[in-house]
Structure 1
């Protein structure tokens, strides 16, 4: 199982490296922190960026441990696969839209377009709330169908993985609310740029994590493949 854990950690590492290459790697909840101005295109190395790496590292390790345990539990004979709610795919598409909206807002902030910044923040926020609402609807559907948290290991992991991811999304909405409040109070786009970029970074990370979780939840074969590869060593 160690091999599977290493592989999953490497996958999370790829996501973090991709975020770093976007040069907007700063801790989301410090979106409004004052940072000295730097020349265009120059990377900013600060305590906030260091904190971001620590946070993303801890978060990635947490998700990797949960996913590793999930994949290992799949190999037990008493595992009972869950149905795949169609709404999960819709929710995934909604989160993709939220991430794209955040990136569009970043471009608007860089061009100094205050109206588009407000529109982008509104769109990304609404889509994110819609994602969380959709996840709650899925929970309700599962519960109504008799798939309770204590019904089986599969249901317990389903609720655990989606709940942990949902809590991270809620945390991101705190930074989004702060950036949105400043935008609607008439702050200049230049002063909003950092906060918007931070939100976009976090949203891209949340999307990457959810892509991994969604793939596991809808495909038992993927988790079993991880266990099989680990067992062969």
Structure 2
């Protein structure tokens, strides 16, 4: 029956309403779900950052960027940021390749996105090792504890994205070498890229906050009424 194959869409331009193929329903549901997921993750990180800034007001909060501190040199953070940016750009290029029916470029873009993301995680582990080597272990002080918490939480979300990336790669490898994936793959790739861009923005925010001095945290807290 028509009611089983089609479903009514929201009014379009000019107030017109129409019928949308039922095959588009999963894409709309997935699109709504990813926005809800990003909203939940945003709230989660916002709450942790508020706790971070509030805790930084106490006298036992050491600087992570002072002389001898693990973040005195920003170069490891910049390198990790560039790796995550490269992963996002690779997914952007993969989407363009799919739109241009260029399968080889599509495969390259997806492979590079995963490779750069894995290199980012390796860079984060090396950064944790640097914290350990400079005496900023997980339980050494409140500042290092928050650093492990925030970067570890971000890394867990990135690993979740890599699961979706692996699913996309598996779908692409299952096709013939000359065959291009269909609409569902394109929709999944778009959602994966959106999630990657979101994690890049979260990381840049963490970079900005974690590299500030205690004096900056006090100023932020006073401005926001957290002091």
When normalised by structure 2's length, the TM-score is: 0.79
Q: Give yes or no for contact 1:108–1:114 (8 Å, CA) kept in 2.
A: yes
Check 1:190–1:222 CA distance in 2 against 1; reply closer, same or farther (3 A cut).
farther
CA RMSD of aligned residues (A): 2.1
- In structure 1, the residue matched to 2:217 is 223
The 5 A counterparts of 1:75-114 are 75-82=57-64, 83=69, 84=71, 85=73, 86-114=75-103
Structure with greater Cα Rg: 2
Q: Give yes or no for contact 2:34–2:191 (8 Å, CA) kept in 1.
A: no
Corresponding residue SS for 1:139: helix
- In structure 2, the residue matched to 1:63 is 45
CA distance in 1 between partners of 2:158 and 2:224 (Å): 31
The 5 A counterparts of 1:9-88 are 36-37=23-24, 46-82=28-64, 83=69, 84=71, 85=73, 86-88=75-77
Q: Give yes or no for contact 2:31–2:191 (8 Å, CA) kept in 1.
A: no
CA distance in 1 between partners of 2:28 and 2:86 (Å): 30
How many residues align structurally? 194
Aligned partner of 1:167 among 156, 171, 180: 156
Which deviates more, 118-127 or 220-229? 220-229
Instruction: Identify unmatched segments of 5+ residues in structure 1.
Output: 1-34, 39-43
In the alignment, structure 1 residue 206 sits paired with structure 2 residue 199: yes
Corresponding residue SS for 1:172: helix
CA distance in 2 between partners of 1:197 and 1:47 (Å): 14
Following TM superposition, by how much is the alpha carbon of 1:37 offset from its aligned partner in structure 2, in angstroms?
4.7
Q: Greater relative contact order: 1 or 2 (C-alpha under 8 angstroms, separation 6 or more)?
A: 1
CA distance in 2 between partners of 1:232 and 1:214 (Å): 21
Following TM superposition, by how much is the alpha carbon of 1:47 offset from its aligned partner in structure 2, in angstroms?
2.4
Instruction: Identify unmatched segments of 5+ residues in structure 2.
Output: 1-21
Corresponding residue SS for 1:46: helix
Q: Give yes or no for contact 1:112–1:190 (8 Å, CA) kept in 2.
A: no
Which deviates more, 194-203 or 79-88? 79-88
Runs of 4+ in 1 over 6 A off after TM superposition: none
